[in-house]
């Protein structure tokens, strides 16, 4: 049982501090992942807050069939898709957008320690949402193809194909900017 799962168990048993531990451990990574669904880091934080609120209020049971992180990210994806489906609104610039840059940098700085990966994550902004998600999950969160497929509700074959096209698109983008990354 991983650390997140044990923290969640303790939270379900009534330990509120365990919930803070979960937030501390998974907030940044989940926010960056959810930013793949939207270009606003503030909106991604809002989504992440909704995901943790769902954990806190509804307390869904964790079966342990997958890792807690995979389970949490899958919940995050479903929550975001539901929220986007409900909203269907015209994107408007909010006051929170002024803090997007600083927040993004802070989150990236906290979560992505490799400088090359930070440049790479910045280059992913212009990619398609699915490409960004699959690249983030595989190269930044180090999920395997199977886990990525579980989170994204796709088959492994689809994830392979998606990952291949995402890398090609990112490579093309990086070549435009004169940047080379050996791992791609």
Partner 1 sequence: MRSYEEISNRIMERGDKLIESAKVRAAKIRHTSYAVSGMCAAAIAGIGVWHIASYVKKPDDGFNGSGIVSATETITENTSSAEITTALTTTSPKATAAAKTTKVTTDRKNSDTTSAVPAVTTAAVQTTSAKTSTVHVTTSGNNANETAIPESPAKTTTADDPTPVTTTVRPVSPDGNDNGNSGNSGEESVRITTSVHIEDGPTTTSASINETSTETITTAKSGPQMGDGGYVPPTSTTTTSLQDVFRANPSYITLNEVRYEKQAEVSVESIGSYLHRVDVHIMYIRKNIRSVMKAYLIEGVDEEEAVAVQLKDTDEYYLFRNTSYKKDEAE
Query: Which residues inside 27-46 make contact with partner 1, applying CB under 8 A?
Result: 27
The one segment of 22-30, 129-137, 152-160, 174-182 that binds partner 1 by CB under 8 A = 22-30
Q: Which of 82, 102, 155, 161 binds partner 1 (CB under 8 A)?
A: 102
CA atoms lying within 13 Å on the CB side of residue 154: 16
End-to-end CA separation in angstroms for the chain: 32
Helix, strand, coil percentages in the chain from 3-state DSSP, rounded to 5:
75, 0, 25
Residues 6+ apart with CB under 8 A from 67: 2, 4, 5, 147
Site for partner 1 contains 16 (CB under 8 A): yes
Q: How many residues does the chain have?
A: 184
Q: How far is the C-alpha of 148 from the C-alpha of 141, rounded, in Å?
A: 10
Q: Which of 14, 57, 93, 142 binds partner 1 (CB under 8 A)?
A: 57
User: Do 124 and 152 form a contact (C-beta atoms < 8 A)?
Assistant: no
What is the size of the binding site for partner 1 (CB under 8 A)?
A: 15
Residues 6+ apart with CB under 8 A from 154: 162
Choose between 57 and 93: whose C-beta lies nearer to partner 1. Answer: 57
Site for partner 1 contains 98 (CB under 8 A): no
Site for partner 1 contains 20 (CB under 8 A): yes
Site for partner 1 contains 23 (CB under 8 A): yes
Structure tokens at 46: 């809002």
Site for partner 1 contains 103 (CB under 8 A): yes
Site for partner 1 contains 52 (CB under 8 A): yes
Q: Which of 2, 56, 146, 153 binds partner 1 (CB under 8 A)?
A: 56
Contact set with partner 1 (CB under 8 A): 16, 19-20, 23-24, 27, 49, 52-53, 56-57, 102-103, 106-107
């Amino acid at each position: 049982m991983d650390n997140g799962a044990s923290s969640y168990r303790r939270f379900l048993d009534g330990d509120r501090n365990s919930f803070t531990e979960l937030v501390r451990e998974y907030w940044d990574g989940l926010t960056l992942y959810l930013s793949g669904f939207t270009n606003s880091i503030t909106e991604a934080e809002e989504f992440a807050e909704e995901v943790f609120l769902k954990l806190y209020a509804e307390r869904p049971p964790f079966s342990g069939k997958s890792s807690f992180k995979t389970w949490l990210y899958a919940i995050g994806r479903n929550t975001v898709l539901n929220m986007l489906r409900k909203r269907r609104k015209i994107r408007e610039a909010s006051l929170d957008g002024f803090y997007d840059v600083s927040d993004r940098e802070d989150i990236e700085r906290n979560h992505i320690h490799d400088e090359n990966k930070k440049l790479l994550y910045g280059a992913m902004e212009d990619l398609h949402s699915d490409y960004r998600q699959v690249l983030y999950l595989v190269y930044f969160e180090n999920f395997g193809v199977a886990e990525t497929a579980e989170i994204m509700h796709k088959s492994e074959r689809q994830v392979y194909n998606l990952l291949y096209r995402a890398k090609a698109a990112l490579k093309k983008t990086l070549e435009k900017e004169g940047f080379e990354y050996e791992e791609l």
